């Protein structure tokens, strides 16, 4: 591959050990991809230096723990180097625990201490500790065409599709190296020719609600896999939250990193613009039968109607969703046999506190949590057997990771289950 | 790595492809026609696939030559397989078709010989239980087919359960 002068200088160690190790990893990665050069990036979102009990026990080398974990795991280096202050806009995505409500999540003091130490290490290096899977709801909104290096599949698909910025689904190691160097391989979604649609999806049923958008996303991911769908048909223009749930679902059931909605998303003013030089590989119809089958797939891991856990906020809830939850609760108390957890970002939580939403949820018997979610934190209330979820992404992961049953439905279905302890959701 | 079984009678099939990560390793193949999800789809510490509707659910990839179409799902793919490397549960080599950032970075941090863009579809040539040598430096995969008579003896213990 062709390396620019500043890249060669980093490899040679001219900017110190950390830049050298980060560049070495990026070159290994670029060669694996078959990339020929790097692009410059000034917007990197990852989980730099995050530790956990396994890594703490595995890496026993002496020195500052943040440097140790970042060097040996994030940079896959065989020696510990001093991790410098970041010069590019770098942020930390979701973490493993809520520093205020860690006991609610059942976290051990050791986990809290590891999390707090990692947060300090990141902040000392000018990494923005947004601690959310929705950085675009917490102040990091890249502009169209901007080269980014983001992790978090739901944020990546939002970044490419809705914002028209450019990122591949990066991983922890590549984003941590990109934060130091400001470089990422010129591959995939950084390149014009890669961003055109491959498959057409004709939507033949109305798609309006959050639940509809989650189901459509889950269907699309299942049929196109890692390719790029172009949607046409009977959908109302989606809002930010619909995009968030659609993209998260498509990225979970498949590997969708970018989609086009004709007349909606920035790189799809017309069908022709969305496909560019490509001809559609295949066209899939999303009609009543596909919608029903998707609903049944999403509910394949539930049979017991007695719900003991309701989890909302995957991806992290927007303020409007928290308001909707408060409206649905309508001053009532949830069933004593149910726990209600709502996850959001610190930034949104700060406003929710001031709006009074946090108190409304608490008065109903639930709790508004930040930083993590049940799947990421592997956290459930004690004895949880059956969950109710309004996120196709969370229902894809949580039963597999935690070995519980989970129902999928609308936010109203979930709040109804929280109030009654019974699942009464159905496909309308 | 287990010792190579005596398959000296079986013919060697040679595939040629592009190096993703260098090195040489050989062992038993574990083959799936379904893409693999990393974080949330595997238990890294145990080296098993846990994705609910995956054809290899419950199957271990530890010490195997993993042959698959590619990667899907969470951006935690590399972390899952990186953790598997540290835990000693990772595959010993990777053969795949679809290049993505997830699988490229995962192969890099697993530090195992990895190959893609083969001249024949490895999913058509290699079956679970075949003995496979991956020479990524030279871009060569050598396949010794599992002896048919041994197939029912389940000597590998990795036969995929199918729903």
Query: What number is the ipTM of this complex?
Result: 0.90
| pLDDT of A287 above 70 | yes
| pLDDT of A45 above 60 | yes
| pLDDT of B161 above 90 | no
Give yes or no: B74 in active site.
Answer: yes
Contact flag B79-A172 (C-beta cutoff 8 Å): yes
Q: For A271-285, A312-326, B148-162, which range has the lowest pLDDT when averaged over its residues?
A: B148-162
Question: Nearest residue of A to residue B51 by CA position?
Answer: A400
**Cβ contacts of A223 on chain B, cutoff 8 Å:** none
| pLDDT of A412 above 90 | yes
Q: How confident is the model at residue B158 (pLDDT cuts 50, 70, 90)?
A: very low
| pLDDT of B8 above 70 | no
For A93, other C-beta atoms within 10 Å of its C-beta total 28
User: For position B147, what pLDDT does the model report?
Assistant: 79
Residue A217 is encoded by which pair of tokens? 């996303």
User: For position B156, what pLDDT does the model report?
Assistant: 45
Residue A239 is encoded by which pair of tokens? 């809002």
Q: What's the average model confidence in pLDDT over A232-236?
A: 92
Rounded to the nearest angstrom, the gap between the alpha carbon of residue B59 and the centroid of all alpha carbons in its chain is 12
Q: Where is pLDDT greater, at A173 or B74?
A: A173
Question: Nearest residue of B to residue A247 by CA position?
Answer: B73
Residue A54 is encoded by which pair of tokens? 């396994």
Contact flag B76-A172 (C-beta cutoff 8 Å): yes
Report the C-alpha gap between A273 and A262 in whole angstroms: 9
Write the DSSP symbol of residue A407.
E
CA distance B6 to chain A (A): 33
Surface-to-core class of residue A84, CB atoms within 10 Å of its CB (0-12 exposed, 13-18 middle, 19+ buried):
middle
Is B46 in CB contact (< 8 Å) with chain A? Answer: no
Residue A64 is encoded by which pair of tokens? 């500052």
User: For position A105, what pLDDT does the model report?
Assistant: 97
The residue whose two tokens read 């990421």 is A376
**Helix or strand holding residue B123 (H, E):** helix B122-125
User: For position B3, what pLDDT does the model report?
Assistant: 59
**Mutant choice from B44, B52, B70, B74 vs A, greatest count of A C-beta within 10 A:** B74
CA atoms within 13 A on the CB side of A353: 8
Q: What's the average model confidence in pLDDT over B8-15?
A: 86
Contact flag B52-A171 (C-beta cutoff 8 Å): no
Q: What's the average model confidence in pLDDT over A205-212?
A: 97
Q: Name the residue facing A255 among B45, B100, B106 (closest C-beta).
A: B100
pLDDT tens per residue across span A60-119: 999 999 999 999 999 999 999 999 999 999 999 999 999 999 999 999 999 999 999 999
- Residue B22's contacts (CB-CB under 8 Å, 6 or more residues apart) are B113, B136, B137
User: For position B152, what pLDDT does the model report?
Assistant: 46
**C-beta of residue A316 within 8 angstroms of C-beta of residue A133:** yes
User: For position B157, what pLDDT does the model report?
Assistant: 42
Is A187 in CB contact (< 8 Å) with chain B? Answer: yes
CA distance B99 to chain A (A): 7
What is the CA angle A151-A154-A156, rounded to 5? 50
Report the C-alpha gap between B70 and B35 in whole angstroms: 5
**Helix or strand holding residue B26 (H, E):** strand B24-31
| pLDDT of B150 above 70 | no
Is B147 in CB contact (< 8 Å) with chain A? Answer: no
The residue whose two tokens read 């950390």 is A18
**C-beta of residue A72 within 8 angstroms of C-beta of residue A61:** yes
Give bridge partners of residue B94 from the DSSP assignment.
B66, B114
State the pairing for strand pair A229-235/A183-185: unpaired
**C-beta of residue B42 within 8 angstroms of C-beta of residue B91:** no
**Cβ contacts of B40 on chain A, cutoff 8 Å:** 375, 396-397, 400-401
Contact flag B101-A156 (C-beta cutoff 8 Å): no
Nearest partner of A26 among A8, A48, A50, judged by Cα: A8
**Helix or strand holding residue A204 (H, E):** strand A199-207
Q: How confident is the model at residue B73 (pLDDT cuts 50, 70, 90)?
A: confident
**Cβ contacts of A73 on chain B, cutoff 8 Å:** 82
Q: Where are the beta strands (DSSP E) in A257-385?
A: 260-261, 282-286, 309-317, 339-344, 367-370
**Cβ contacts of B111 on chain A, cutoff 8 Å:** 76
| Three-state SS at A20 | helix
Report the C-alpha gap between A230 and A239 in whole angstroms: 17
- Residue B6's contacts (CB-CB under 8 Å, 6 or more residues apart) are none
Contact flag B40-A73 (C-beta cutoff 8 Å): no
**C-beta of residue A349 within 8 angstroms of C-beta of residue A370:** yes
Report the C-alpha gap between A161 and A242 in whole angstroms: 13
Q: What's the average model confidence in pLDDT over B9-24?
A: 94
| pLDDT of B121 above 50 | yes
Report the C-alpha gap between A405 and B143 in whole angstroms: 41
pLDDT tens per residue across span A126-143: 999 999 999 999 999 999
CA distance A404 to chain B (A): 11
Contact flag A174-B105 (C-beta cutoff 8 Å): yes
Alpha helix locations (H) across B43-113? 77-87, 101-110
**Cβ contacts of B105 on chain A, cutoff 8 Å:** 29, 32, 170-171, 173-174
CA distance A171 to chain B (A): 5
Contact flag A168-B79 (C-beta cutoff 8 Å): no
What is the CA angle B142-B146-B151, rounded to 5? 160
**Mutant choice from A75, A153, A171, A293 vs B, greatest count of B C-beta within 10 A:** A171
For A87, other C-beta atoms within 10 Å of its C-beta total 12
**Helix or strand holding residue A406 (H, E):** strand A405-408
Q: How confident is the model at residue B149 (pLDDT cuts 50, 70, 90)?
A: low
Percent helix, percent strand, percent coil in chain B, to nearest 5: 20, 30, 50
User: For position B5, what pLDDT does the model report?
Assistant: 64
Residue A408 is encoded by which pair of tokens? 């999928």
Nearest partner of A277 among A195, A168, A388, judged by Cα: A195
Among the listed residues B74, B75, B152, B154, the single catalytic one is B74
Distances from the Cα of B84 to the Cα of A84, B20, B49, B92, angstroms: 28, 19, 12, 11
Q: Where are the beta strands (DSSP E) in A277-357?
A: 282-286, 309-317, 339-344
Percent of chain A topping pLDDT 90: 97
Q: Where is pLDDT greater, at A332 or B3?
A: A332
Q: What's the average model confidence in pLDDT over B29-38?
A: 95
| pLDDT of B154 above 70 | no
Q: What's the average model confidence in pLDDT over B125-144?
A: 98
Is A61 in CB contact (< 8 Å) with chain B? Answer: no
Q: For A185-189, A389-393, B36-40, B122-126, which range has the lowest pLDDT when averaged over its residues?
A: B36-40
| pLDDT of B50 above 60 | yes
- What's the CATH number of domain B12-144, 3.50.30.10, 3.40.47.10, 3.40.50.300, 3.40.50.1970? 3.50.30.10
């Amino acid at each position: 591959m062709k390396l620019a002068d500043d890249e060669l200088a980093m490899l040679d160690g001219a900017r110190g050990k950390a830049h050298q190790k980060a560049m070495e990893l990026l070159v290994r990665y670029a060669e694996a991809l078959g990339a020929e050069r790097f692009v410059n990036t000034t917007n990197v979102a990852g989980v730099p230096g995050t530790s956990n009990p396994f890594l703490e026990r595995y890496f026993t080398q002496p020195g500052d723990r943040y440097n140790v974990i970042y060097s040996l795991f994030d940079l896959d280096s065989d020696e510990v180097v001093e991790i410098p202050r970041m010069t590019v806009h770098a942020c930390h995505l979701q973490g493993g625990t809520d520093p205020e409500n860690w006991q609610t999540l059942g976290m051990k003091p050791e986990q809290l201490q590891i999390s707090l130490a990692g947060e300090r290490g990141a902040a000392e290096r000018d990494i923005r500790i947004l601690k959310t899977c929705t950085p675009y709801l917490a102040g990091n909104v890249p502009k169209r065409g901007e080269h980014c290096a983001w992790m978090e599949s739901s944020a990546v698909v939002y970044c490419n599709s809705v914002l028209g910025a450019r990122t591949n689904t990066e991983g922890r190691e590549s984003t941590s190296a990109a934060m130091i160097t400001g470089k990422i391989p010129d591959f995939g979604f950084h390149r014009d020719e890669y961003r055109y649609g491959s498959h057409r999806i004709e939507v033949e049923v109305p798609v309006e609600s959050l639940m509809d958008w989650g189901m459509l996303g889950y269907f699309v991911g299942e049929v196109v896999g890692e390719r790029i769908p172009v949607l046409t048909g009977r959908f109302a223009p989606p809002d930010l939250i619909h995009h968030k749930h659609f993209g998260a679902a498509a990225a979970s059931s498949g590997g969708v990193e970018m989609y086009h909605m004709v007349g909606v998303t920035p790189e799809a003013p017309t069908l022709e613009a969305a496909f560019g030089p490509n001809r559609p590989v295949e066209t899939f119809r999303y009609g009543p039968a596909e919608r029903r089958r998707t609903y049944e797939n999403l509910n394949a891991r539930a049979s017991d109607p007695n719900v003991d856990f309701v989890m909302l906020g995957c991806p992290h809830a927007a303020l409007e969703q928290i308001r909707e939850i408060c409206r649905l609760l309508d001053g009532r108390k949830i069933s004593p046999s149910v726990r209600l957890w709502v996850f959001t970002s610190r930034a949104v939580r700060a406003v929710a506190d001031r709006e009074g939403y946090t108190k409304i949820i608490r008065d109903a018997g639930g709790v508004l949590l930040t930083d993590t979610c049940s799947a990421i934190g592997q956290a459930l209330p004690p004895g949880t057997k059956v969950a109710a979820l309004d996120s196709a992404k969370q229902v894809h992961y949580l039963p597999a990771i935690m070995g519980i049953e989970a129902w999928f439905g609308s936010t109203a279905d979930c709040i109804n289950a929280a109030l009654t302890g019974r699942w009464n959701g159905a496909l309308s | 790595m287990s010792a190579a079984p005596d398959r000296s009678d079986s013919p060697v099939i040679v595939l040629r492809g592009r190096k993703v990560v260098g090195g040489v390793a050989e062992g038993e193949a574990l083959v799936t026609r379904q893409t693999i999800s990393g974080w949330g789809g595997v238990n890294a510490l145990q080296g098993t696939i846990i994705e609910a509707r995956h054809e290899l659910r419950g199957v271990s990839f530890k010490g195997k030559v993993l042959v698959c179409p590619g990667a899907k799902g969470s951006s935690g793919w590399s972390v899952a397989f990186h953790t598997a490397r540290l835990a000693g549960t990772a595959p010993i080599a990777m053969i795949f078709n679809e290049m993505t950032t997830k699988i490229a970075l995962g192969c890099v941090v697993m530090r195992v010989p990895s190959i893609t863009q083969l001249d024949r579809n490895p999913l058509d040539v290699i079956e679970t239980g075949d003995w496979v040598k991956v020479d990524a430096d030279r871009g060569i995969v050598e396949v010794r087919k599992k002896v048919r008579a041994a197939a029912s003896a389940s000597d590998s213990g990795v036969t995929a359960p199918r729903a």
